[in-house]
Amino acid sequence: MTSIWEIESLVNLKNKLKNILISRKVDVSDDDNMSTLVNKVNDVRDNVELEGLLTGNLTEFKSESLTELRSYAFCSCSKLTKIDIPNCTNIATQCFSSDLNLEKIEILKSGSMNGTSTFYNCTMLKKVILPLFVSSSASSTFQNCGKLELIDINTITLSFQPFSGCNNLKTLIYRRTSGVNSISSISLLPSIFPKYGYLYVPESLLESYKKATNWVTIADRIIKLEGTIYEDMYWCNKDMMFILVDSIEFEIPKDTTVLQYKNTYQIEHLYSDGIELADDKLLHDYISTTITTEVE
């Protein structure tokens, strides 16, 4: 007798195969069963990505034709480190769950992320950049993503344990320009966020967020998006650099001005060799010098 776990595994495998086949411009439909899918796989059996998916050795995936990810599409691809799907506009349940080596996902098109546990247990994931995506449910979406530092998204509805175990999340960017993204309890955010995190929102909604239910408790950590390094939606595509400020390392775009840096991290003054940095200077002019927030 087939167990429910075996049935679920077959469904997950079917969805994975369909996603890969679609990305290779192979016609598939909901009517395809495992037999027909296997035949289609055989037709493209020399495909490295398919081979990697079936053997569990997939390390990179790139597709400009893939527009939708079905449930469990890349679930438990533990060796996957890089994914490039610039035209994907829909991400379903547990698409990347337990992808233990995935470090970043970036899609700059409008889209939706629906379902639960999308990035559950992605223990190496650091950045989720989906600035035009709308997420209707964030139940366990980022749970156990212990290295997650930044989420850039249009809209997200926070529900059961969305950030449980996200002990490094310090940057949350909401780009929606109409209406506040509500939160039922500030405890849904990581415990470090009220002290060390920042929520970036459009200037037109800044005061609304600061007065909104529950958000009001971290009003001093909510700042306007405009004038920061994240204002430009394409900030992540710029050449990046690392700088040390008070011996703490920051990764920022190379063309960042001192004023943008100040606005981003709410710093009043920055000094280099005892001289205050002018707001129109580029930080990378000072990359080899000591930068501090106080005169040494």
Task: Report the predicted TM-score, pTM, of the whole model to 2 decimal places.
Answer: 0.84
For residues 172 and 199, what is the distance between their CA atoms, to the nearest angstrom? 5
pLDDT of residue 25: 64
Mean pLDDT of the residues in the chain: 87
1 pLDDT higher than 80: no
For residues 28 and 37, what is the distance between their CA atoms, to the nearest angstrom? 8
Give the tokens for residue 273.
């060799």
209 pLDDT higher than 90: yes
pLDDT of residue 157: 83
Top-level CATH class of 59-224? alpha beta
pLDDT of residue 3: 45
12 pLDDT higher than 90: no
For residues 200 and 173, what is the distance between their CA atoms, to the nearest angstrom? 5
Give the tokens for residue 142.
């980022």
pLDDT digits (tens, 9 = 90+) for 72-119: 888 888 999 999 999 999 998 889 999 999 999 999 999 999 888 999
pLDDT of residue 8: 53
Residues 6+ apart with CB under 8 A from 173: 131, 150, 151, 152, 153, 199, 200, 225, 230
Higher pLDDT, 3 or 30: 30
Q: pLDDT-based confidence at 269, cuts 50/70/90?
A: very high
CATH annotation of 238-292: 3.10.20.30
Q: What is the mean pLDDT of residues 249-253?
A: 93
Domain ranges (residues) in the chain: 1-58, 59-224, 238-292
